[in-house]
Amino acid sequence: MLKIGDPIPELSFEAYQAEKINNVKLSDYKGKWLVLLFYPADFTFVCPTELKDAANFYSDFQKIGAEIASVSTDTVFAHKAWHDSSPAVKQITYPMIADPSGKICKAFGTYIEEEGLSLRATFIVNPEGILVAYEMHNNNIGRNTAEILRKLEAAIYVQDHNGEVCPANWKPGDKTLKPGLDIVGKI
């Protein structure tokens, strides 16, 4: 399982995006922030609500130099069929990564061996390919893309402002803290 501060592995895969099937490598995203949204399977109940929510925020991620990609153990052909048939999924314009062998899910520690599916998980990777944040939980709990975006904005801020940290519920423009200078009792 990857840990915070680890480089993400170099993996190749197919992805469905913009009516095309593309061959991609994780290293293709170096130089950009990357948010990987692992989910169990296409044609399910919670997954389209999450992926549509991410689609609604996609331009916000792109404006701050980030790419989103969803990952499941489905094939690119299943992604295309789901995209073509679901009004919610049809709104997705970011890459939908196919991982039918489970190699990506296994590398990130999300693979459920007995089911051949992924746990629901989010990974934030910096432009150097280093894991800076992740969250993983049961598949019956959906994510909040606005919160993922907020975490990404905080990760970008602290990377660009050495020595500053973001307190709970921080949003761009809010006050940050400088450990050693800010007194904890004042918070």
Q: For residue 31, with 0-12 CB atoms within 10 Å meaning exposed, 13-18 middle and 19 or more buried, which class applies?
A: exposed
Residue 37: which of 159, 176, 152 has the closest Cα? 152
Known catalytic residue at 47: yes
Q: Which of 35, 37, 47, 131 is catalytic?
A: 47
Q: For residue 120, with 0-12 CB atoms within 10 Å meaning exposed, 13-18 middle and 19 or more buried, which class applies?
A: buried
Question: Cα–Cα distance between 30 and 125 in angstroms, integer?
Answer: 9
Instruction: Please identify every residue annotated as catalytic.
Output: 47
